[in-house]
Structures are given as structure tokens and as C-alpha cells.
Amino acid sequence: MRICFTWAIFYYMFSLIYHSKFSIQRKTLSYWALWLISITLNIFLSGYANLLIAIIIYFVLWSDKKIDYYLINIILLSFLVKFLAIIIPSPILMHFFPSPDVVSYGFNLIINLIEFIFSITFVYFYNYFKLNDFFQSRENPMTSIVLGYVYIIFFMFLKLTQHFKAYAGLITGMFIFILIQCIFIILIFSFTRRRQRKVYRDRFSEEQVKNLKLYTDQLEHDQLKLRHFKHDYKNLLFSLKSVAEQQNYELMNQALDNLENYSDDYLNNLSMDLYQDLNNVKNPYLKSLLISKLNTINQKNIVCFFNCTDELNNLPINIFDLIRLLDRAIDNAIHFTERQEHGKIQLAITQENNQLAFLINNTLANLPTTEREQDYLELLHIKELKKKYSNIFIQHSKNAKWFRFHITLITKEDKK
């Protein structure tokens, strides 16, 4: 009976901290099946069944082709909580039940009650500190390795204590030493992650300075061209005035054509129209990215239209996640447009009600190719972002001429 309640508590806690995309019906059937399998394996293999149960849980709930580190971390975390619910109250229970060989219903009831209270308390703090966002964002095995290491230590301590009761003091001392080692490893892991994040931010800042320099250099170049244009424009106006005084209409039309052609040539090669809406983008990281991409598009002689009519201050998701997504999405648009003779790219940022949208559209080539825009979408890690953020919606579509990639972010409504 105790085993049934133990695994029922385990899967109840697991269902509260693991956010799956499965339907309620499928999740219910999966957890019932896992509960029965776990009880059966626990009866025949005792505590050694945990590894096999963990593997079965993973494959039952695994939905992606890639390794799901989020699921692995939640499985390991759940087993750690299960162990802690047994280990922590053990010294207290030994005073009330000095003979563990004598098993009573009261003893089993107290054990299950402690497990339940401990699990519910853990779920409360798990949600309070928003740990689910942390585990969903892990895309590498480092967190799983640390959790797995700590799990093995707890498991070995529990088994050694059960088999060598006479050396309980020695085993406890060894456990404390290994636990300190675990804490030391976790601290090193945290320090390394922070250092990597700082290196990434520093690298990003250097890239930002570089992009801002490109922006200022382009503006200086346009300013210099404007001075020459102003000087030449005065000369053309003076020539036009002289022709007008002669009342030679043929020469006047020719002079007007020259003036029009010169003005068009100058204005078409000016980048001020391309960059003018960047003033509305207040986030320095986002502005830096847009400067870099607009400059790349301009250098590749791709016709580009950028629009951001409303001032953009706050972003509802982490700026670095948004930058990575936009960076790869715009690179895809450039990749499929630079080989076109008359390729065009449309970039826009729109705000309406509580929605913030990023629009990236590019023309399609008429030439046959084996490359598909959809194949490059896998590089954007869209599934991971949707797991991490519930307020992001990503859509893509295409017709005979255009491929459209739209990112919509739901922002919080203003409180009145």
C-alpha cells in the first residue's frame, strides 16, 4: 500500500512541475500507465528499479526528435525530491520507530504524509521562484549532468545506509563530505555559467559598438554627399535660370531632365530613408542588430523597406532570445534574396493594442532550386522558444512571389 501511495505522490508532483504539450486525456492515460509500471517494477526490483522507471518515463513523455533536456531535468529533479522526502525526516522517525523491521500502518501513513507535504512544499517554491522557466531554457546536458551526479550520491547513500547499519556514522560522514563536494561542483557550475554569460554580453557589446560605428559612418558619408549635392544643385539651378532667360524651351527641357536625373540618382543612393525609422527603436541591442542587417542588405544591393512608425521601448521577452531569433530570420531572408536579380526585403515593427509584431518578408526566386525556406526554419529553434514563452506566436506563409515570416508577441495590457 505504501508503494502505491509513494508513486501516486511522485506522479502528482511530477504532473504539477512538468509542462507537457500533450492533451489532458493523453497525459492522464500516460500517468496512470506509468504509475502501474512503477509499482510493478518497484515490487520486483525494489529501489534499483528507479533507473529503469526514469528511462520509461522519458520515452513515454518524449515528443520531439531531439533530446529533451527539459524532460530529463524534471525527471531527475522529481527523483531527488522523492529521495529527500525519505532521507531528511529519517533521523526524527528513528526516535519514534527505533525498530524499522517492525512495519505498521501508522508508520507507513506517516511516511506517505511526510512525502506528500514535502512534495507540495517543493512544488510551491518551484512555482514561486519560476524554476520552470530556468529548466525549459536549458538546451545543453550540463544541468542534467549535475542533477544526475547529485541523484547518484543520494541513491548510494540510501543504499549503503540500509545495507551497512553498523557503520551508519562512517557512511554519514562520507555522505556529508560528498554532499559538500556536490555543493562545490554546483557553485563552480554556476560561476562558469555566469562567466560565459558575461563573455557573451561583452561580445555582444563589441558588436553593438561596431554596428553603431557603421551607422555613424554611413550618416557621415550621406552628409558629405549632401554637401556636394547642395553645391551641384545650386550650379544646376543657375544654369536652368540662364536657359530660362534665353527662352529656349528645348534647352530648358533638356536642363530640367538633367536636374531630375541628377536628383533621382542622388536620392536613390541615399541611405537616410532606410535608417530613418531606427530612431523609434529605443532598445540599444535591437537597434544595433537592425543597423547591422540593414547595412548588410544595402551592401548586397538588395531593395529593402524598413518601417517602425511607433516608438518601441519595452519588450515582453528576453532581449537576447529575441535578437537570436531575428538575427537568423533576417539572415534567411538575405540568403534567399541576394541571388535574385530584383530581390526585395520588407522589415517592419508594428504595435497594435497589446500585440507587438516583427514582420520579415522576402521575394521568392523564379529559378528552380532544391532549397526551401521551411528547411531553414529549424535553425531558429522555434519549438524551444514556444516552450519557454507562452506569449510568442510565430507564423510563416508563402505565395508565388513572397515568403512571409511573422513574430507576434503578446504584451501586458496597461492597467487603468
Q: What is the pLDDT of residues 17-71, one digit of tens each?
A: 998 878 888 899 999 999 999 999 999 987 788 999 999 999 999 987 778 888 9
> For residue 293, what is the enclosing H or E element?
helix 284-299
The DSSP line for 392-411 is EEEEEEE-SSEEEEEEEEEP
Residue 186: pLDDT over 60 = yes
| 366 and 372 Cβ atoms separated by less than 8 Å | no
Lowest mean pLDDT among 120-129, 245-254, 295-304, 392-401: 245-254
For 292, other C-beta atoms within 10 Å of its C-beta total: 19
**Which band of pLDDT confidence, cut at 50, 70 and 90, is reported for residue 253?**
confident
Q: What is the 8-class DSSP label of residue 101?
A: T
The closest of 298, 325, 156, 157 to 218, measured between CA atoms, is 298
| Structure-block grid coordinates of residue 227 | 554637401
Q: Which residues contact 334 (CB under 8 A, 6 or more apart)?
A: 293, 296, 297, 300, 302, 345, 362
The closest of 392, 404, 265, 251 to 332, measured between CA atoms, is 404
Helix ranges (H only) for 97-167 are: 105-128, 131-136, 142-163
Q: What does the alpha-carbon distance between residue 393 and residue 338 come to, in Å, rounded to a whole number? A: 28
Q: How far is CA 307 from CA 76, 269, 336, in A?
A: 47, 18, 21
For residue 372, give the 3-state DSSP assignment: coil
For residue 303, give the 3-state DSSP assignment: strand
**Which band of pLDDT confidence, cut at 50, 70 and 90, is reported for residue 415?**
very low
Q: What does the alpha-carbon distance between residue 303 and residue 301 come to, in Å, rounded to a whole number? A: 6
Residue 131: pLDDT over 60 = yes
Q: Can you tell me which residue has the cell 493594442?
A: 353
Of the ranges 120-129, 160-169, 183-192, 241-250, which is most confident? Answer: 120-129
Q: What does the alpha-carbon distance between residue 345 and residue 372 come to, in Å, rounded to a whole number? A: 17
Sheet architecture: strand order including 402-410: 303-307, 344-352, 355-363, 402-410, 392-398
For residue 347, give the 3-state DSSP assignment: strand
Q: What does the alpha-carbon distance between residue 406 and residue 192 come to, in Å, rounded to a whole number? A: 35
Residue 122: pLDDT over 90 = yes
Residue 224: pLDDT over 90 = no
Q: What is the pLDDT of residue 117?
A: 93
> For residue 358, what is the enclosing H or E element?
strand 355-363
Q: What does the alpha-carbon distance between residue 182 and residue 179 come to, in Å, rounded to a whole number? A: 5
| Structure-block grid coordinates of residue 384 | 524551444
Q: Can you tell me which residue has the cell 559598438?
A: 209
**Which band of pLDDT confidence, cut at 50, 70 and 90, is reported for residue 406?**
very high
Quote the percentage of the chain above a pLDDT of 70: 79
The closest of 288, 316, 320 to 197, measured between CA atoms, is 320
Helix, strand, coil: what percent of the chain each, to 5?
70, 10, 20
372 or 334: which leads in pLDDT: 334
> For residue 306, what is the enclosing H or E element?
strand 303-307
Regarding beta strands 355-363 and 402-410, do their DSSP bridges make them parallel or antiparallel, or are they unpaired? antiparallel
Of the ranges 122-136, 272-286, 298-312, 348-362, which is most confident? Answer: 348-362
Q: What does the alpha-carbon distance between residue 48 and residue 43 come to, in Å, rounded to a whole number? A: 10
Q: What is the 8-class DSSP label of residue 312?
A: B
| 114 and 53 Cβ atoms separated by less than 8 Å | no
Q: What does the alpha-carbon distance between residue 243 and residue 254 come to, in Å, rounded to a whole number? A: 10
Lowest mean pLDDT among 85-94, 202-211, 342-351: 85-94
Average pLDDT over residues 226-243: 70
Residue 127: pLDDT over 60 = yes
Regarding beta strands 392-398 and 344-352, do their DSSP bridges make them parallel or antiparallel, or are they unpaired? unpaired
91 or 322: which leads in pLDDT: 322
> Global pTM?
0.58
